[in-house]
Structure formats: structure tokens, C-alpha cells
Copies of this chain bind each other. A is one copy, B any other.
Amino acid sequence: MISDPDPPKETHAMRAGPSQEEIRRHNLGALLRHVHLGGPTSRAELTSRMGLNRSTIMALTADLTAAGLVREELPRETGRAGRPSLVVRPESARVYVFALDVGVDRLVAARVGLGGTILDRREAVRRRGPFSLDEIVGPLAGFARQMHRKTRPDTVCVGVAAAFAGGVSRSDGVIRFGPNMGSVDVPFAEEMARRLAFGLPVTVGNDANLAALAEHTRGVGVGCRDLVYLHGDVGIGGGVIVNGQLLGGHEGFGGEIGHMIVNPKGRPCGCGSLGCLEAEAGERAVLEAAGRFGAQMGRDAVRAVVDAADRGDIVAQAALSRVGDWLGLGVANLVNVFNPEMVVFGGMLREVYLGSAAQVRSRLAVDALPPSRDSLRLRTSALGDDATLVGAAELAFAQVLADPLEVLARAGS
């Protein structure tokens, strides 16, 4: 019995099957993605995991090796007799991207090698509040150029992408809002590309969306097709993976779960509403409830509240209990709406969740529908503060993984 209410797929006519060349390009991308995400892998393993025969794997590997994207080497050690299978590893030192992260508190630029290795990074603390485009683009471009100057001549940059704490329009990469940054309609991507002058476009995504992707591809949510990621920075953002794909919505603004109202007569939010999840469980809510707002801000300040509660500080405990209650209500709503397999707490919400897990769980016990709650896993981010940066790197690698030879040909020209 099939009881799947999934929709009949939208079908289009097929003119003909893909050509041999298209199949080859597809499989080059699939093999490259395999070693990019899975790390060095023996030919034998690739053969079995990809369901292709040995000679095809050899030919694909040879092409990727010739392009300088992977190299083959003998494994360090093999427990077996006979000729060992060569190991295919990504050319992490040679092929790289620039990943940028525009947070509320900090600017980060990193050079990330194929395979996900962070080769170099620069970071600057940023004052909070409204900013000029130049205050962001200037330092990031400077960082990228510094790192670029240090690269060897045989290296190649195949992409640039940025995680931005704001709403990013899918059609043009313009930042349409950033309630905590005072930004409206900022042509960040265009300006960033112009200032870098690497001859490469800059792709941009919402920071929490990209962190969700990162946790899905390299973090705690690997293999999980339905996942809700909550990201606490100053505000609360989110990213939702639905059936293996990031929920973007009509124009790329989906996943703004921080602006789900959980307490309609509650605290004012930066967006103009009352009682958004962000207003009730964001950084300011935690610090105010703990009587610590203003003295110290940021993730360390939130961590200090959790530490104080652990040491028995009653005010801190009450603060986390209050915030955890709203967080739990918000998560229950998301569980009912999405029926996710996993909910991940990232950014400063990792700290908040660790300090209020009992409260969150007791809310879920009351407010989430039992069938959706029963199989749910609650987890904290595996990538921590780097989740947004890792997500940006994956976005930057997307092109080369989709069509390895094409991108390399362009980058090399």
C-alpha cells in the first residue's frame, strides 16, 4: 500500500536522453562532490558507492586529475594483501574559494580549499548598528586581497560567496532588509564583486539559510532530509531543509522564523511587531531577563548567563527558564508546521538551548502534536560559530561541483 500524499510530479517531455558528454560531466561533478564532502576516498570505494564500474571511475578520476581538481595517491597503510586501491583526494591547497561572512558583530573572510579546509582567514570586530556599504565591503575586499597575495601561482579561485545577516533577494542578490543592521536595498553582491576585481561574480545568501545548509551537508544534519535550523545572532534567523532542499520561498526570503510571533502582547521587536520569537528569545531578551543588558553584549555575554545559571544563580536560571519557554513554543510551532526529523540550535541559541533544554522539552511535550514529536531529534550545531562561513564556502563551491571542467576552464583563462 502506498500512502504518500506527495504531489504528482510536474512532468515535462523528454526530447532525448542526455548525451555521453552530459553523462560524463554529471558524473565528474558527482565524483568531485563525493571527495569534497566525504574526504579522500579509495577508487574501490568510489566504484561501489557510485554504482559505476572501475574503468569509468578511472576515466573520471583521470579527467579530474588532469584538471588539477583531485590527485591520486597510495593509501598510507592497508590491512589487506594485494595491490592497494589508489586514494582520490581533493586538491585542497590548489583549488579554493573565498567565503565571506557579514555578521552583526563581525566580518570574516576565509580562503577555503576544495574539501572544505579553511586555508586562511581574517576577521574583524564590527560595531553594531547602521553601516555604510563601504564599511563592510572595504575590509572584506582588503582581507581577500591580502590572502590572495599569499597564494602560490598555481592555485585557482573558483568562486566567491557571502553569508549576510539580512534578507537576500534571490533574483539580484540585493539585501532587502536587515532589521538589526539598518539596511534596506543594499547592492552588496555587485559592489563586493566590483571591489574584489577577481573577475568572478559574488553569490550571496542569508546567513542563517547558509548555516542550515552547512549543518545539512557537513554538520549535525548530514543525511537528514527534513531539518529546521534556528540561528541566534543578535536576532534569530533560520533555515529550513524540506525534502533535502533549502526552503527559499517565492523570492528567497523564506525561513525568517525569528519573526514568527509567539507572544502577541509581548516585547517589541526590531521589525515593528510585538512578541516575535526574536524579541522573546533573542540576545537582548536573554540579557534583559538576566538583568545584564548593556554591560556586555554578544555571545560571550549569553554564555555568561548560562554559566551563572549552572552555578546556581537564581536570576540567571529564571531568565533561561523564561526564554526557554518561548523558544520551546516557537519550536513546537515549527514542528507542527514542518514535521522535521531534526531541529538544530545554532549560534547563540546553542548556548540558550543548552541552558534551557528542560523548558524547551516540556513545552514540546504539551504543544507539539505527538506523531511529529515522537521521532524528533533536538541537536546543537556541530559547526558552531563557523556554520555561516562554511555555508558560504559551500555556496561558492556550488558551480565547480555542478560542472567541474567548465568552471575550471573559465577560472584558468
Contacts and interface: CB of A to CB of B under 8 A. Distances in A.
Interface of A: 1-19, 22-23, 26-27, 29-31, 33, 50-52, 167-174, 176-177, 189-190, 193, 201-206, 209-210, 213, 216-217, 225-226, 238, 240-257, 259-264, 271-273, 329, 332-334, 336-341, 366-367, 369-372, 375, 394-395, 397-398, 401-402
Given A264-B263, A329-B264, A333-B261, A250 B340 contact: yes
Copies in the complex: 2
Contact of A17 (B17, B203, B255): B17
Contacts of A336: 256-257, 259-260
A277 to B, nearest CB: 9
Given A6-B248, A242-B247, A271-B369, 7 more contacts: A2-B173, A3-B171, A13-B31, A169-B371, A243-B248, A261-B262, A273-B367
Contact of A253 (B167, B260, B372): B372
A249 B332 contact: no
B7 A33 contact: no
Contacts of A17: 16-19, 22-23
B253 A371 contact: yes
A56 B16 CA distance: 11
A16 B26 CA distance: 11
A202 B4 CA distance: 10
Nearest to A326: B264
B51 A15 contact: yes
A326 B5 CA distance: 29
A245 B7 contact: yes
Contact of A255 (B272, B329, B334, B337): B337
A247 to B, nearest CB: 6
Nearest to A265: B265
Contacts of A371: 167, 169, 176-177, 251, 253
